[in-house]
Structure 1
């Protein structure tokens, strides 16, 4: 059975099938850091999830899917109800499978293929699977790559603060954060540049972009999203979003 209850225990590595798909609606959830011996494709048909992996924070709106190769530590978080789709692959059986971590844009055909594979019976005849898989690998290879990740600092002095961000807190401006953490602005700036390769202000702006994508994907209005991200006005948020994503928040939601 491919449709699981939100609290069901599931271990894809314990099953012998080469391709295993699952589908479930998940509310607020934190998977905890874990890894699989099988590679995994993650997709949210509706809603938005965030993934922490390889010291990066990645947002996965319904327009994108993430390919996570076997053996990579990762953690998936959902703040609201997500139509969760996950497909596990024994990549020893599939030479077409990607070998690198990637986030790609999902077109309507790829979305339909993922939905089909997430819902098919695990005991499905392999000959029927191959027809779908052949088209799936073709579409996955052709999918446009998306840059929806942000490097995360690993200094232990920031651990509690980073956890508050994962829970929905807003990263303060540099002077406020430095005071909150009990360090100078200069020290904090050097720390971010060393750990992320980005000045804090650039890092904070990218974090706000990713959080905006989450909120808009969850159906929040432009006004509520602007308020949640501490913009002075809706128009300021719209200009910010257009600058970083090349479209207005409303156009993004329509996509």
Structure 2
């Protein structure tokens, strides 16, 4: 287990144990783009973590985790104070774990298992005592976990680079974007459908949902979030949130 220096970048690869656990509380942390041979399960206990991959953004509000297979380049950004747990699994365990990046729901059982695993010593013997049972349960729960729609596919077309450089702010309406990038609305629509599987308006709504969750998870009010995301009123924002998630913002974070 490691309690990390906020300025340090932890490298799990030199260790020999099948699992390396990390427990940390970081504030306004940016890991920068990096990769490691080990697969990583990153669990947000409190706060919100944004993960940037080559082809998508993923969001981790409380009680969600990201599975990142070994070798996948990624960047983790944490706003304000984020309490998280991270497990790094050896290459030998990879066949028992998902092959693709996923945001998963953390069940009560997985949450209970993650804590002692994240706090285990780096030289822990995972073949003795309770540790093989913890590892077996963890692998089973990761495989059975519900996947959450908390990722945003990113287009690769170079004409849309200005849009991708400013994903902290509400993406413009389609006609405005067309003017900015010098392509027709129809062309942009085709690019998004081909490269993300979503129409531009669907993509923009998914961005709004993820940004809403990010703002609410970091302590912003419903009123602030609704205004920031361009909704005319709190009630319209709540209706949008419920249509996208099946529940209200307050219920979502309970």
The answer, yes or no, to whether TM exceeds 0.5 is yes
Query: 1: distance between equivalents of 2:94 and 2:37?
Result: 14
| Counterpart residue number, 1:106 | 106
1:198–1:94 distance in 2 versus 1, CA, 3 Å: closer
Deviation at 1:54, TM superposition (A): 4.5
| Counterpart residue number, 1:74 | 74
| Counterpart residue number, 2:147 | 145
Contact kept? 1:26, 1:82, Cα under 8 Å? yes
Q: Name which of 165, 171, 196 aligns with 1:163.
A: 165
Query: 2: distance between equivalents of 1:114 and 1:44?
Result: 11
Q: Deviations over 1:197-243 (max 9, x none)?
A: 22111110111111111112222221111111111000000000010
Query: 2: distance between equivalents of 1:222 and 1:198?
Result: 27
| Counterpart residue number, 1:96 | 96
SS at match of 1:12: coil
Contact kept? 1:3, 1:119, Cα under 8 Å? no
Deviation at 1:21, TM superposition (A): 0.8
- RMSD (Å) for aligned C-alpha atoms: 1.8
Contact kept? 1:222, 1:250, Cα under 8 Å? no
| Counterpart residue number, 1:17 | 17
Gaps of 5+ in 1: none
Q: Detail structure 1 runs of 4+ shifted over 4 Å in the superposition.
A: none
Contact kept? 2:79, 2:218, Cα under 8 Å? no
Q: Deviations over 1:131-170 (max 9, x none)?
A: 32122223223222222212101112222321211xx211
Q: Deviations over 1:83-142 (max 9, x none)?
A: 132110104047533333322111222112222222222122331321321222232232
Per the normalisation by structure 1, the TM-score is 0.91
| Counterpart residue number, 1:121 | 121
SS at match of 1:16: coil
Contact kept? 1:62, 1:217, Cα under 8 Å? yes
1:155–1:245 distance in 2 versus 1, CA, 3 Å: same
Question: Which stretch has the larger CA shift, 102-111 or 226-235?
Answer: 102-111
Deviation at 1:25, TM superposition (A): 1.6
Question: Which stretch has the larger CA shift, 82-91 or 121-130?
Answer: 121-130
Per the normalisation by structure 2, the TM-score is 0.91
Query: 2: distance between equivalents of 1:180 and 1:98?
Result: 39
| Counterpart residue number, 1:154 | 156
| Counterpart residue number, 1:208 | 208
- Name the count of aligned residue pairs: 252
Query: 2: distance between equivalents of 1:94 and 1:211?
Result: 32
